[in-house]
Structure 1
C-alpha cells in the first residue's frame, strides 16, 4: 500500500505570514488595535521557534517582520516607556527615547508619502472630485413643473362608474353624468328609454344619453 504524503502549502504573502504569526504567538503579534513593541533580537527567537515549520522560511519571516514593524499600528505603539515583549508576551524592557523618536520619524515620513501620493493623483486627475455643473435656473424650473404635473396626474383618482338601470329611474332620482374622466352629480327631471333630462348641481338642465348616466 503506497503512503500518500501531504505537501505543506508554503506561505509567500506577508499578510498571510503575519496572520499566521498572530495565530501562533497571540501575546506577541496582533492584527488589530495598537501593536506591542517587539523584543530586540526577536527575529532570532522567531527563526528558532519556527525552524521545523515548513510553512515559512527565514527569508519570508524577515520580510514579514520588517513589514509588521513598519506598519502605522506598530509605530503608534512605540512610545517611550512602552514594554517590549517576547514571543510569549513577557516584558523584555522599556522602549527608550531613541527608539521612540525613530518610530515617530518613520510614521511621519510614511504619512507624508501617502499625502504626497494623493496630491499627485489629484493633480493628474483634477476633474475626479468636481461636482456636476448646476442646471440653468430656467431648466430647473421647467423640470420642477413637469414633476409637479406628473405628480398631480398620478394622484388624481379616477371615478368609478356603475351602469344605471334606465327603467328604474324616476323623477328625483340622483345620478352621475360622465364628463370625460369625471362624474357630475345630477337629479333626474324626466326619463325616456334611451336618455334622460337632468339638472346638474350648478342648475344647468341638460339631456344626456343612457351611456353617460351612472348610479
Structure 2
C-alpha cells in the first residue's frame, strides 16, 4: 500500500479525490488533512503533518497552486524544504507538480485556463522552463472553456484551479483536444506518487498516468 498525504488548505472540490483514489487502484490510499503551510503556525503544521506520518503516509504534497507560487520559485522551494523537515517525509506542492509533470511529458509550451488569472503562476512555470502561450477564463462549461488549448503552439492544457472538478473529465478532454491535459488534483496525486518513486498506469487519469519509465542503458 502506498499512502499519499495531501495538505488541503480549503474545501475546494475535495470530492474529486475519492474518485481519483478509486482510479489509482486498491493499493494506493489518499489521506487528506486540513492544513496550510503558508498560513498555519509551525506548531499546528507540525501537528497536522504528524497525523499523516502516524497514519503511514509515504509522501506529503501541499495541494495548492496559487498559494504555493505567491512566494516565487525560490520562496516556494524554501516552503517545500520546511514542509519536508516538519513532516519528516518527502514533500512538494501542486505548483511544482505542474512543472515536474510538464517535464515528464516533454512539454515546454502550454495553454492555461483558469478562473483567476495569476501572473505569479505564469512566472512560476516560466522559472521551471514552461512557457504559457495563451490564457483564457475558466467558465461553468469546462468543455467550452478549453478551446484556447487548440492553439497549435500549445503542447498541453493546464487547469491549475483546485476548485475545478476535473478527474472524471480528463480522458474526454484529452480526446477533444488531442493533447495532454494537466489539472490540479490529477497533478497533485501524480506528484505525491513521484516522490515515492511509484508509477501507476491509469489511462482514465490522462496521458500523465500512462507514461512508461525511461530505461537507463
Smaller-chain TM-score bracket: under 0.3
Larger Rg: 1
Return the TM-score normalized by structure 2: 0.21
